[in-house]
Amino acid sequence: MQNIAEVEAPEEGMRSVTEILLDDVEYVNAGPEREIIDFVDPAGEASSQRVAGERIRVGIVDDHAMVAEGLGVLLREQRDLEIVGIAATVAEAIELVERRHPHVLLLDYRLPDGDGATAATEILRRWPSTKVVMLSAAGGDELLARSIEAGCSGFLPKDRSGREVVSAVRAAYRGESLIPTSVLVGLLDRLRRAPQGKAGDLTQREFEVLRLLAKGMSTEGISSLLFLSEHTVRNHVRNILAKLGAHSKLEAVAVAARDGIISLEDRT
């Protein structure tokens, strides 16, 4: 079993994930078997809902120890972020979310016992409030499309800078899209078709909410702009997803754009 007893914040500035050194990570009872690394919250059991002043809870899933633990060192430097666990397989990822309830899960696409899209689908089915950001050393439209269809909040190549990773975690927590419009447009034809006839059932208010989602607005932002409660906005979003046959807000926007329901030209 691997446990991290203490992680000191490195003096170096933010670097690429793969450049972070792990000299300041101490292992206790290290053995040949990998298990979930828990960063235990001494205050008690975690909640899946963030309260005012609470740090954003982040889980990391990657079978490459240096990448996973390097991400842990990077994110622990941020006062508003808390690493609640590190896992290395699909099975461990599901256990991590069940035990530690992260707000945001950084999930590697290629894992020893499956792929990240399959893991994300199961995790979001059981814990739909979790924000999943897919990580991968490889790109490709097919991988991106699968990530969107699985319900992920976005996709992040592993060669991105530490600053971009931190920004992505915060943006995912706020409910923002992490895939640029130019990339999203290129994926439209690869996304599966929604059931026919349901898109036309969108109400005027749902259409309005959908257009704001396409601009990258969060639930809180839409609530403020339309003078609606966040609960009402979430209900509209659930109806939109059902009618478009989508698993996430990001996929709903992509499907709506592909089918000509909305335009991404003015998306910011």
Give, to the nearest 10 degrees, the angle between helix 65-76 and helix 162-173.
70
Domain membership flag for residue 263: no
Domain membership flag for residue 61: yes
- Whether 242 and 163 map to the same domain: the answer is no
Domain extent, residue 198, equals 193-258
The CATH number linked to 237 is: 1.10.10.10
- Whether 16 and 106 map to the same domain: the answer is yes
- Whether 94 and 64 map to the same domain: the answer is yes
Domain membership flag for residue 155: yes
- Whether 113 and 166 map to the same domain: the answer is yes
Q: Which two tokens stand for residue 202?
A: 């969108």
- Do 37 and 85 touch, CB atoms closer than 8 A? yes
For residue 160, which of 19, 53, 27, 25 has the smallest C-alpha distance? 19
Domain membership flag for residue 186: no
Concatenated DSSP letters of 116-169 = HHHHHHHHHHH-TT-EEEEEES---HHHHHHHHHTT-SEEEETTSBHHHHHHHH
Residue 59 forms beta bridges with which residues? Answer: 85, 105
- Whether 140 and 7 map to the same domain: the answer is yes
Return per-residue pLDDT of the chain as tens, 268 residues. Answer: 333 323 333 344 444 443 333 333 332 223 344 444 444 333 333 334 455 567 999 999 999 999 998 999 999 999 999 999 999 999 999 999 999 999 999 999 999 999 999 999 999 999 988 999 999 887 677 788 888 888 888 888 888 888 999 999 998 898 777 776 666 766 666 665 544 445 668 999 999 999 998 887 888 889 999 999 999 998 999 899 888 877 778 878 888 887 888 877 655 4
pTM, whole model, 2 decimals?
0.69
- Whether 152 and 251 map to the same domain: the answer is no
Radius of gyration of the chain (CA): 19
- Whether 142 and 17 map to the same domain: the answer is yes
- Whether 81 and 202 map to the same domain: the answer is no
Residue 3 forms beta bridges with which residues? Answer: 28
Q: What does the chain come to in residues?
A: 268
- Do 72 and 86 touch, CB atoms closer than 8 A? yes
Contacts of 5-14 with CB under 8 Å at 24 or more apart are 7/72, 7/73, 7/76, 9/73, 9/76, 9/77, 10/73, 10/77, 14/74, 14/161, 14/162, 14/163, 14/166
Domain membership flag for residue 137: yes
- Whether 175 and 132 map to the same domain: the answer is yes
Q: How confident is the model at residue 183, as a pLDDT?
A: 67
The CATH number linked to 33 is: 3.40.50.2300
5: exposed, middle or buried (Cβ count in 10 Å: 0-12, 13-18, 19+): exposed
Query: How many structural domains is the chain composed of?
Result: 2
- Whether 91 and 39 map to the same domain: the answer is yes
Q: How confident is the model at residue 244, as a pLDDT?
A: 86
Domain membership flag for residue 267: no
Q: How confident is the model at residue 26, as a pLDDT?
A: 31
Domain membership flag for residue 97: yes
Domain membership flag for residue 265: no
- Whether 107 and 207 map to the same domain: the answer is no
- Whether 65 and 167 map to the same domain: the answer is yes
Q: How confident is the model at residue 100, as a pLDDT?
A: 94
